[in-house]
């Protein structure tokens, strides 16, 4: 078996980064990844989408509406739905859109697809067994100078372009992660709530959605509130959560930095348990499930300053509940795209430097570089 290694991949056509969950999706019945959404160094939405296939990127037809922090969902029929998001540079309050559009992977074109009932961003949009999409939470306008986290939930029908408000979540949240479980339920993990204009706190509360009843129920809480984290369903059906930051009180002590703690959710018990600690706390990293059942963790940054991308990687082994360091990528990055294709993990784009680590005030250093991880998985 070959030793693990990183090799250069074709650069993105445009440098970009992804502040929320990556918008890099594996297309159905095709060894190809679709990348959409994202933003440039000035936080302007990227107005294009690309497909990575056979080691190269090619542009698709133009998106209808350039946006960032949108919901991106692979539908059962192979099309891709994009909902909500932000369509301009940062403002206070942030002003989301309700518009939706759909990508046809055969024609490689985007078309208008109706709208949500509630404009929102940093929400989740999860494909349901009946072909509809569960749109949950997110962030919306509260007042002339503030935003709010949402409890509202709607079900979008890609066939008609109509959306219906349904039973709200137990708790408001945005920037959370949705994990479809093996039994059909959907787990929502962590996220954030708004504490004031520009102020956010991490969410430790988790909940479950049952598609057969349309009801939400509270489930076990994370030991540590997290945003900027990762959540990965393992082969046995449990869910691994890593990293993220709280920016709040943990055990009556103010916790500013990214977490090293790792937790696993056991669906049959509805509880979380602590597993092996990460060597470094990190946020806005990426965890990718490998064919072997282990998890590759790459990059990230620390929430104490959010200023530099980490140039390191680790692998989590469910058999030992432990992380081990693996070969480092060539470029340090956070807020990047990552996905599995042709048995390899592709990472692309992301922030190299931000804030005080930049060479000029207000000009984040964003990369177009890409590389692939392969080897002892």
Residue ranges and CATH numbers for the domains of the chain are 1-20+284-376 (no CATH), 24-174 (2.120.10.80)
1-5, 249-253, 259-263, 351-355: lowest mean pLDDT where? 249-253
Is the confidence at residue 248, as pLDDT, over 70? no
Q: Which of 2-6, 90-94, 122-126 has the highest mean pLDDT?
A: 122-126
pLDDT per residue as tens digits for the range 79-117: 999 999 999 889 999 999 999 999 999 999 999 999 999
Nearest to 95 by CA among 45, 165, 48, 155: 45
Determine the Cα–Cα distance for residues 244 and 258; give it in Å rounded to an integer. Answer: 5
Token code pair at residue 261: 């703690």
Average pLDDT on 216-243 reads 97
255 falls in which pLDDT band (50, 70, 90)? low
Is the confidence at residue 283, as pLDDT, over 90? yes
pLDDT value at position 197? 83
CB 210 within 8 A of CB 226: no
Is the confidence at residue 247, as pLDDT, over 80? no
351 falls in which pLDDT band (50, 70, 90)? very high
Percent of the chain exceeding pLDDT 90 equals: 85
pLDDT value at position 264? 99
pLDDT value at position 376? 61
| DSSP string of 316-333, one letter each residue | EETTTTEEEEEPPPSS--
> What is this structure's pTM?
0.96
Determine the Cα–Cα distance for residues 158 and 141; give it in Å rounded to an integer. Answer: 25
pLDDT value at position 251? 52
Determine the Cα–Cα distance for residues 271 and 269; give it in Å rounded to an integer. Answer: 5
21 falls in which pLDDT band (50, 70, 90)? confident
Is the confidence at residue 142, as pLDDT, over 90? yes
pLDDT value at position 5? 97
Token code pair at residue 15: 């440098």
pLDDT value at position 363? 73
pLDDT per residue as tens digits for the range 308-332: 999 999 999 999 999 999 999 999 9
- Phi, psi at residue 310, to the nearest 5°? -75, 140
Q: What is the mean pLDDT of the chain?
A: 94
């Amino acid at each position: 078996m070959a030793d693990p290694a990183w090799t250069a991949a074709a650069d993105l056509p445009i440098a970009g980064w992804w502040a929320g969950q990556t918008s890099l999706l594996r297309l159905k019945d095709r060894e190809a990844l679709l990348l959409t959404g994202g933003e440039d160094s000035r936080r302007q939405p990227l107005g294009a989408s690309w497909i990575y296939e056979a080691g190269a990127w090619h542009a698709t037809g133009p998106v209808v509406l350039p946006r960032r922090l949108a919901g991106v969902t692979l539908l059962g029929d192979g099309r891709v739905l994009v909902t909500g998001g932000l369509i301009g540079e940062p403002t206070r309050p942030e002003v989301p859109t309700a518009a939706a559009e759909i990508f046809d992977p055969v024609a490689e074109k985007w078309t208008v697809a109706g709208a949500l009932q509630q404009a929102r961003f940093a929400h989740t949009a999860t494909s349901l067994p009946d072909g509809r999409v569960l749109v949950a939470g997110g962030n919306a306008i509260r007042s002339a100078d503030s935003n709010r986290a949402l409890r509202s939930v709607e079900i979008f029908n890609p066939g008609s372009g109509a959306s219906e408000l349904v039973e709200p979540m137990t708790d408001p949240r945005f920037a959370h992660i949705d994990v479809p479980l093996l039994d059909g339920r959907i787990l929502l993990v962590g996220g954030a709530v708004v504490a004031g204009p520009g102020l956010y706190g991490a969410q430790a509360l988790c909940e479950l959605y049952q598609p057969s009843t349309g009801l939400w129920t509270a489930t076990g809480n994370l030991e540590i509130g997290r945003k900027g984290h990762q959540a990965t369903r393992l082969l046995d059906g449990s869910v691994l959560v890593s990293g993220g930051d709280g920016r709040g009180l943990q055990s009556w002590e103010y916790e500013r930095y990214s977490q090293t703690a790792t937790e696993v959710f056991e669906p049959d018990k509805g509880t979380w348990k602590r597993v092996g600690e990460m060597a470094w706390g990190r946020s806005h990293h990426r965890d990718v499930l490998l064919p072997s059942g282990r998890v590759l963790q790459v990059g990230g940054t620390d929430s104490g300053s959010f200023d530099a991308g980490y140039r390191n990687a680790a692998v989590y082994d469910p058999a030992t509940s432990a992380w081990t360091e693996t070969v480092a990528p060539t470029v340090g990055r956070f807020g990047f795209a990552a996905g599995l294709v042709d048995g390899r993990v592709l990472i692309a784009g992301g922030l190299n430097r931000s804030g005080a680590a930049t060479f000029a005030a207000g000009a984040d250093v964003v990369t177009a570089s890409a590389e692939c991880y392969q080897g002892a998985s």
